[in-house]
Amino acid sequence: MYVGLKMLKRGQFVTATLDTLVVDAEKMMLKNRLWMLLVVEGDKLLGYVSKEDVKAALPSPATTLSRHELNYVLSKLKLEKILRKDTPTIIPEVEIEEAAQRMDDEDVSGLAVVDRNNHLLGIINRSVMLEVLVEEMGLKQGGTRIVFEVEDRRGVIYEVSGLIADLGISIIATGTFFHNGKRMVVLRLATEDPAPVIKALASRDYHAVGPDHFAAEWR
């Protein structure tokens, strides 16, 4: 899956301009629960401001300015004064898991999606990533989830999928995780009774595991 197919597109999130007042930017960010507000000129991405930037730019509640002076400052302070130009960006052709890795490595909550001319196309953020995870694991399609430990060797998924197909059961989604050096395969099956599958897997020395197997690790 590619970033461009899952990103929030222009019109689905708010942006600002250089002339946007800092005080208005703060309201936009609070209303939309943003840590980063992208600043554009037409379709061109100019940069961004963070929640911390906005907070630092606004007068402190302990300011000695009079109400008239405070209103004057707030009416003049625009985003062009605090704009950051080192916006974390990504192109739409990138695989979405690579975007997730970048967000984790760089400790950012989102990446602006741009074309090769720096035109803003959209944004990919942690909320989108969570939606993708739910979709990829097939949760909304129902069925039953099973997990089993396997050796990290070639042909495991092929063999397991063949066993399940022989039982006339469809696989909704698959996933692979590692825990304590062991490979865990997660399957969501289009059945409410996974017992025949678990039995068939056990006959080939694939052992299903569940919360009880790991309970000691979170106590």
Q: What is the DSSP string of 75-103?
A: HH-BGGGT-B----EE-TTSBHHHHHHHH
Residue boundaries of the structural domains of the chain? 3-133, 137-218
What does residue 125 show for φ and ψ, rounded to 5 degrees?
Answer: -135, 180
Tell me the sheet residues that pair with 48. Answer: 38, 84
Q: How many CA atoms lie within 13 A of 210 on its CB side?
A: 6
Helix (H, G, I), strand (E, B) or coil at 46: strand
**Domain 3-133 indexed as CATH 3.10.580.10:** yes
Instruction: Report how far residue 8's alpha carbon sits from residue 40's, in angstroms, rounded to the nearest whole number.
Output: 16
Q: Say whether pTM exceeds 0.85.
A: no
CATH topology of domain 137-218: Alpha-Beta Plaits (3.30.70)
Sequential pLDDT tens for the chain (219 residues):
899 999 999 989 999 999 999 889 999 999 998 889 999 999 999 999 998 888 887 765 545 555 555 555 556 778 998 999 999 999 999 999 999 999 999 998 899 999 999 999 999 999 999 999 999 889 899 999 999 888 767 778 888 899 999 999 999 999 888 888 888 889 999 999 999 999 998 888 888 888 888 888 877
